[in-house]
Amino acid sequence: MSEKVKQAIELLTQIIDDRTVPRNIRENARLAKESLENEKEDLRVRVDKAIQYLDEISEDPNMPVYTRTQIWSIVSVLESILS
């Protein structure tokens, strides 16, 4: 597993474990993390799925500002894998 994927998983874990983050956002973060960890699929497919889950929640008005910043950071890391 690449360092960038590990970094993204680590950041997603922080969001999942943060009880101040709304449940729906933590759930999408969990799905994105599971997608990245699924080594049965091609890396590009896993990264693309994770980005889709994070895009769904990136504009959620209930999201804490610091979590939104974390999400953008994760998406940026994941997009760098695809380029």
pLDDT at 59: 87
CATH class of 3-82: mainly alpha
pLDDT at 1: 79
> What residue spans of the chain are helical by DSSP H?
3-17, 23-37, 43-57, 65-82
For 2, the 3-state DSSP assignment is: coil
pLDDT mean for each 10 residues of the chain (83 residues): 94 97 97 97 97 94 95 96 90
Domain boundaries, the chain: 3-82
Give the span between the Cα atoms of 65 and 10, in whole angstroms: 19
Please tell me the pTM assigned to this model.
0.94
pLDDT at 83: 87
Whether 47 and 78 have beta carbons less than 8 Å apart is answered as yes
